[in-house]
Each structure stands twice: as structure tokens, then as C-alpha cells.
Structure 1
């Protein structure tokens, strides 16, 4: 059996798993399904107007009595409004990404909110620990969406060694082998995004889900490196156009114009050619659409199987 971790105790969850804060995908339906399944469901504030975020938070509370979180994308123009909506609703847990969480910690921690920033380097992890973060999500470049430059395999153990707060591993986790690998690296929980896109309760268009299921090990590419905010997506006409423009030295304004509205086009409208089909490299391991609770049970029953297999192997070696 897997040992209970500080993440489970901190968040009050059955399984040490959090759902990625994926804009347009991580809505109240998906968050409630993950929380009811024993993990930590997350609503992505993204660029939501405050009234819509308020409605989503209230919907989650009607659908589950389990812990849930809201993710704040700090580079979003609506981030400050999201902080106030979260404060008004006394959301128990917040994850943050794409920036420094100082303002979030300063405003929400006195209210008792648990703050867990997504980080992509040791320096970032140390900084947010000093600021008062309760845990960190160490996300490797295998993840979908906005990414850093370090792989999960290398990032997680260095972050574990650098901080005293619990570490959640993200990027590349889609089955029990990934869960056990994350724990072997010193993490006390995992964050899963791409596989939850294919949850039954996910609002992602069926075409988006099918694009993930059909993906192989080499289906994803990184675009937007020249903007300073690289993004991992499944390759299509949009990613090829990004490559073309970047190779010609296109301006930041041109690249931002090309990317505007493309994630919504993929997630909601099902445009998998010119939409931004954000997905991690683990897409090649996602084989079916299934309920969120079933995904969680599959991950951890498989992890137990892998652990038993490893123990048997090590005992035989002795």
C-alpha cells in the first residue's frame, strides 16, 4: 500500500492527486467529479469575468462537499478580480501559475486559504516557500500548455531537496508507473492534466478528446519559444503557422494575434486544425474516455500493482 502523504493531510483528500488548472477545460463539472472521486478538483479562473468565476465556484459547492481549488493564471488580466472573488467565496485551496504568487499569498493566506503555486525551477520553489506557500507543484516541460525548460525527472528531486514544504509532481503522469516514479523522486502527490481532459465530465469537445486519444509519443510540439511563454500542443496547422512566423522573426504582436482565441476554438468548438490543442507528452498514453473517478482509481490501482511488482523484483534480486 502507498503511504499516506502530507498532501493528503493538507488538502483533506483520499488520493494524493490534483487536477490541472486547464483554462476552458477545468470547469465546475470536471472539478466536482475529480473531488467526488477522491482527488482535488480545480476550477481554472483563466480569463473568466469575475461574475462567471463566482457562478462556477457556487456550482462546485452544489455538486460536491469535498475540498476543491481554484487556479489563478497570474498573467491573466482578470487575476486580481479572481483573487477577490476567491476571497469573497472563502475558497479553501488555490493553485497559481504563470507568475509570482506574492499578492495571492498576502491577500488569501490570512483567510485560511491553502496556497500551492506551480513552479518550474528550484529558485522559484525556494522563493514561493519564503513567501508562505503551503506546497508546490513542480511541473516539468512534458506537461501541456505553458511550460518551463526542465523535465519532471530532473526538476522534482531537486525541488524536493531544496524546500521543506510538500512537492506535487506534474508533467508526464498518466498511469500508475508515472505515479510511482513521482513518489520515487520524492514527490508526495501528482498533478494530472491531459488524462483528465478525456474525462467524461470534461467540457472539452469530442474532437479535442479524440485528438489526444489518437496521439502518439511524438504528437506534441512546443510553440511560442520566442515570446518567452512557450506552449506545448498537439501539432496541427496552427503550430506549423507559429513555426513559420517564428522562423521569420515575427513580432510578439503578430504571434499573440495568431494565438488569440485559439484555445477556446479547440476546447469548445472542436477546431483541432487551427485551434490550440494543448496537451502533454503523456497524450500518447491516454487510450479512452472515462469518468474522472474511474481515472483516479485506475491510476492508483495500477500504482499499487507497479509497487508490488517492484517489491517482488527487489526481493528476488536480494
Structure 2
């Protein structure tokens, strides 16, 4: 049984964090109430705040606290955490805000969270000493990245992750692979990578005399895929795409309909403004960008590091907000490889049951 902040995870499933605004308090709270681990995406989390355009940073800080409190109210004593990308501007400030909000766990990817333990420790020093620190989980995609994080945390912070999420090449949104790697990693090839990452986790678990559960993510949309993940040695699975077409998902009905209407051929790879490949549903927006078009940013809301507004083909914040709030044809609709399998709306509890029954 996986324990997070002394709470038992009743169902071995994590709901993946999806931004902007796809997994907020509604979805995360529902998943946690059903026994899984609900994850709130911190990516531009305050986009509905009336002051967001004026000061997105402060709006996001307020929303981290308010969304967590709402999710906690829904889930009662369920497990609620945050996904905070290392690539985000103000990453450290958002981590501290999540810790102070009372998050049960932090999942950090889109970069190597090498200093996450230090950031959390500093935040904890400013709090009531009776409060327990959140569980920390890096997202890795290769054995190499796993070893880098484990070695760094051991050397600099004298600790190891509390659990690890392996995100495979079939995942949605920003991917931790170059495009040529996505073609290289066939099912069999990546299965070997997964086993190697798990071996690293078990090695450090023995070294630190602690459990380090492994959560496998990417393309897990059926019970067969979930069963296979467990057969590889995973302690839990992470699913995201299947939770989009739930009644509790925080995205608009139009966003969900884009999944329901998509065919297998509609699932494409698109470059994000910072050069990372991402998986999305094909629409008018993606056709424009992939044909070399440019949609000039109206304003910069400071979402990602290393983003140059005068050079990028489109603003990812604008594109994601457009789709999640209802215009799924003229915005970016991130998805997983199996989005085309979604054919009806269901409840989050039913998704969990279908994957783990």
C-alpha cells in the first residue's frame, strides 16, 4: 500500500496534472474522493482571476491556495497534490505556495527538479513545525534522467524521492523526448527503459531504507494497459486523458467534445513555443501553426522560462486558455496518444474502476 503524508492511497492510481485549467479542484477533488490521488496543475492556475492579465503571478499564487482548499473540501480526507513544471517562471515561488497551502505531494517535471528538496525545506521552515512535509516526486522518462536526479538529491540534499513518476512517450501535453526519440521508442524498447528506471528506484530505496513507489504514466487508458504497467513492476499508474472526458473535469464541454470527436489520425505532434514536442488534437489552430503560420502574442503573462515573445509562433498560455474555456477549434487541445479512444462522458470514479477492476 502506498502512503503519502501518512495517508494510504486506497486505489493505486494518480490523475495526471493537466494545464491550463483542465485539472483544477473539480477533477482532482473527485479523483481523491474516489480513492485515487488527485493532481491540480499549477500552470497558469489563476487564469480565471479577474486580475490575471494585470498580475498573473499574484493571481496564480491566490489560485494555488483557493483551488487546493476547494479540492480538499470535495475530497474530505483524500490525497491532493500539485503538478508544478520546472520550466515555469516563478517555479520556486509556486512550489512554496503549494507547500504552504498544505499539499500532500508535489510532482515536478518539464525539466530536472534538482533543487526541489531545498525549496520545500525552506518553505517548511516558515511553517508550523508540526506540519508534515509533502511527498516529492520527480517526473522522469529515461534511466539517465532518473540517475541524474537520484545522484544529485543524494549528494546535495542527502535524500531520495518519495515516489517517482515515469512518463512514457505516449503521454499528453509537453513530452520529455525529442521527436526522433518518439520514433525510436517502440513498445518493446521503452519497456526495457521502464525496467531500468525501476531498477534505479529499487537500488536507492535499499540505500535509503525507504519505500520509493514507482508510478507509470503514458498511454494507460485501458485495463489491459494498466495490467501491463503493473506487470512491469509499477506500484501505481497515472492516467490523464481518460479523466478529461469526465463530468468532473474542469475543462469546457467544447474541450471534452474535441476528444470525443477525435479519430486516431487526429492525434498529432506539435512544437510548443519553447521547442518541446507536444501531443494534441488536430484542429484549425494546429493546422495554422504546422503550416508555418504565426499567431502573434497579444501580451506576455510570463508562463515559461526561455520563452521569447517576439520569436515564438504562438503564445501557449493564450492557446490553452482559448481551448479550455470553450473555443476548441482555435486553441491548443493537448491530449494523450489514446484520446481518440474516448467516446462518452463518465464519472471519475467509473474511470478508476474501469482501469483497476
Under a length normalisation based on structure 1, what TM-score does the superposition of the two structures give?
0.84
* Other-structure match for 1:240: 287
Higher normalized helix content (fraction of residues): 1
Alpha-carbon separation, structure 1, partners of 2:67 and 2:88: 18
Q: Do the aligned partners of residues 41 and 162 (structure 1) sit closer, same or farther apart at CA in structure 2, a change above 3 Å counting?
A: same
- The C-alpha deviation readout for 1:105-128, integer Å capped at 9, x for no partner, is 223266521011211221111222
Counterpart of 2:318 in structure 1 is: 261
* Partner residue in 2 for 1:113: 134
Q: Please give the secondary structure, in 2, of the residue aligned with 1:173.
A: coil
Alignment partner of 1:15 is 2:72: no
Give the match for residue 162 of structure 1: 200
Contact 2:17-2:41 within 8 A present in 1 as well: yes
CA deviations 1:210-250 (Å, max 9, x no partner) are 11122222221111178431111011122222222289xxx
- C-alpha separation in 2, matches of 1:9 and 1:25: 25
Matches within 5 A, 1:207-286: 207-224=254-271, 227-245=274-292, 253-268=310-325, 270-286=326-342
Number of residue pairs matched by the alignment? 293
Counterpart among 126, 142, 148 of residue 176 in structure 2? 148
How far has the Cα of 1:203 moved from its partner? 1.6
Provide the residue aligned with 2:162 in structure 1.
134
Partner residue, 2:236: 189
Higher alpha-carbon deviation: 79-88 or 143-152? 143-152
Question: Structure 2 CA distance, aligned partners of 1:178 and 1:241?
Answer: 34
| CA offset digits 1:280-318 (Å, max 9, x no partner) | 1111222211111111112112xxxxxxxxxxxxxxxxx
Q: Which of 64, 72, 86 is 1:61 aligned to?
A: 72
Q: Which residue of 1 aligns with 2:40?
A: 43
Contact 1:226/1:246 (CA < 8 Å) preserved in 2?
Answer: no
Q: 1:81 to 1:152 in 2, by over 3 A?
A: farther
In structure 1, distance between residues paired with 2:225 and 2:6: 22
- Aligned-residue Cα RMSD (Å) equals 2.4
Q: Is the 8 A contact 2:10 2:35 kept in 1?
A: yes
Give the secondary structure class of the aligned counterpart of 2:138.
strand
Bigger mean CA deviation after superposition, 88-97 or 251-260: 251-260
Moved more, 236-245 or 108-117: 108-117
Q: Matched residue of 1:191: which SS? A: strand
Counterpart position of 2:51: none
Q: Secondary structure at the match of 1:257?
A: coil
Question: What is the CA–CA distance in structure 1 between the aligned matches of 2:166 and 2:220, rounded to whole Å?
Answer: 12
CA distance in structure 2 between the partners assigned to 1:276 and 1:50 by the alignment: 24
Which ranges of structure 2 fall in alignment gaps of 5 or more residues?
A: 46-59, 125-131, 154-159, 203-211, 295-306
- Name the stretch that deviates more: 209-218 or 292-301: 209-218
Unmatched tracts of structure 1, length 5 or more? 302-318
Q: 1:29 aligns with which of 12, 17, 26?
A: 26
Q: Deviations over 1:158-183 (max 9, x none)?
A: 31133223221111111101101111
For 1:225 and 1:51, how far apart are their aligned partners in 2?
Answer: 27
CA contact (8 A) 2:26 2:248 kept: yes
Question: Is the alpha carbon distance of 1:173 and 1:234 closer, same or farther for their aligned partners in structure 2, counting shifts above 3 Å?
Answer: same
Asked if the contact 2:220–2:239 (Cα under 8 Å) also holds between the matched residues in 1, the reply is: yes
Q: Is the 8 A contact 2:216 2:236 kept in 1?
A: yes
Distance 1:90 1:203, change over 3 A: closer
CA contact (8 A) 2:293 2:313 kept: no
Counterparts in 2 of 1:57-96, with a 5 A limit?
A: 57-64=68-75, 65-96=77-108
Whether the aligned pair in 2 keeps the contact of 1:152 and 1:169 (CA below 8 Å) is: no
